[in-house]
Amino acid sequence: MDKLNINDIGPNELEHIPIPEGLEERLAAKIDAWEKEERKPRRFAFSKTLRYVSAAACITLVMGLGYYTFTRVYDNPTTAICHAEQDTYQDPDIARREAERALTLLAVNLNKGMNQLEKAQAISAKTERTLNKQLKILE
Amino acid sequence: MLLAVASITAHGQVKEFERYSDTKNITYVYISKLMLQMAGKKAAFSIPGVELNINNITNKLTGIQIITSEEKHTAARLRAETLSFLKNGKYDQLMQVNEDNEKVRIYHHEGKKQSVIVMLNEEAFETSVIVFSGSFSLKDMMSLTQ
């Protein structure tokens, strides 16, 4: 028997073709099944623990890489020169003079403050002695 | 973020002051730990009038930043910004010396890894800030006093 092509069948002839029994119910059941499938919540690809472990691993990796880079830069004398490039002075003598100047200023000002403190302590001690003397006389 | 923090410690510079490295009318000087070590190897550090061996302190320094402005408005801005930073940060004022037209304030912050001493020097039209960073204690710094 020749196979019928659906495009060759006219709309009038289509109406006369009998619908197989139970087709409607079967189609409805299939559509319901697809709908249920769509509504079903998708399972997470990773469990919570696995996600935490992955996050911790990522952080450890970043920290490890950071530490490695940091220590390598510091341990390697060639890269240490890169740090020197950030210095204002390339000449150690000028750097020493400037460092000495800065430390001198700090020392001078610290001394100024401490000298005043010592003076104040001396005055305070003298006042205390005078006060005690007067108190003894009154007694 | 951790790398950023590490880089601050590695360079021995207080980030807040590092931004003045490229500011108009401000002179910014930075001396690194490496340069301090190299300078110390060539000749011992000495301060006129201070007989103590200051190499003990310089060995503990990781950097010195010197920020100066001699322009009236910039100097005032530098002073205000420095004071604001010191007040908002965990800095304790150690000392203030007012003399003639000069005012000197010394601040200190002792951290677990890095300690900082900031000296703010104000004159009529000039402001200078000297920042000492390193792993030193307040006692180490006070050894500079006679």
* Residue listed under structure tokens 């920290």: A63
Lowest mean per-residue pLDDT among A63-77, A83-97, B26-40, B62-76: A63-77
The chain A residues in contact with chain B (CB within 8 A) are 62-63, 66, 69-70, 73-74, 80, 83-84, 86-89, 92-93, 95-96, 98-100, 102-107, 109-114, 116
Closest approach of B73 to chain A, Cα-based (Å): 24
Which residues of chain B does A87 touch, with a Cβ-Cβ cutoff of 8 Å?
A: 30-32, 34-35
Which residues of chain A does B61 touch, with a Cβ-Cβ cutoff of 8 Å?
A: 99
- Kindly indicate the confidence band of residue B139, based on its pLDDT and cuts at 50, 70 and 90: confident
Which amino acid belongs to residue B61? L
Which residues of chain A does B58 touch, with a Cβ-Cβ cutoff of 8 Å?
A: 99, 103
State which H helix or E strand residue B135 sits in.
none
Closest approach of A82 to chain B, Cα-based (Å): 10
Answer whether B145 sits within 8 Å of A111, measured CB to CB.
yes
Q: Which residues contact A41 (CB under 8 A, 6 or more apart)?
A: none
Distance in Å from the first CA to the final CA of chain B: 42
Which among B73, B98, B55, B47 has a CA at the least distance from the CA of A106?
B47
Q: How confident is the model at residue A85, as a pLDDT?
A: 45
Tell me, rounded to whole angstroms, the distance of Cα B88 from its chain centroid: 17
**Bridge partners of residue B66, in order along the sequence:** B29, B130
CB neighbourhood size of B134 (10 A): 22
Is a pLDDT exceeding 70 seen at residue A52?
yes
Q: What is the mean pLDDT of residues B70-92?
A: 93
DSSP percent split of chain B into helix, strand, coil, nearest 5? 35, 35, 30
A3 vs B87, higher pLDDT: B87
> CA-CA distance, A98 to B66, in Å (whole number)?
9
Chain B CA closest to residue A96: B39
Answer whether B146 sits within 8 Å of A111, measured CB to CB.
yes
Closest approach of B88 to chain A, Cα-based (Å): 23
Answer whether B43 sits within 8 Å of A62, measured CB to CB.
no
Three-class SS of B46-81: CECCECCCCHHHHCCEEEEEEEEECCHHHHHHHHHH
- Kindly indicate the confidence band of residue A91, based on its pLDDT and cuts at 50, 70 and 90: confident
B108 vs A44, higher pLDDT: B108
Which residues of chain A does B50 touch, with a Cβ-Cβ cutoff of 8 Å?
A: 104, 107
pTM for the structure as a whole: 0.62
B34 vs B53, higher pLDDT: B34
Q: How confident is the model at residue A29, as a pLDDT?
A: 93
Identify the three-state secondary structure at position A44. coil
Chain B CA closest to residue A117: B95
A88 vs B1, higher pLDDT: A88
> What ipTM did this prediction achieve?
0.80
> CA-CA distance, B87 to B83, in Å (whole number)?
6
Chain A CA closest to residue B64: A99
Identify the three-state secondary structure at position B110. strand
* B115-122 β-sheet, strand order: B27-32, B61-69, B127-134, B115-122, B102-110, B92-99
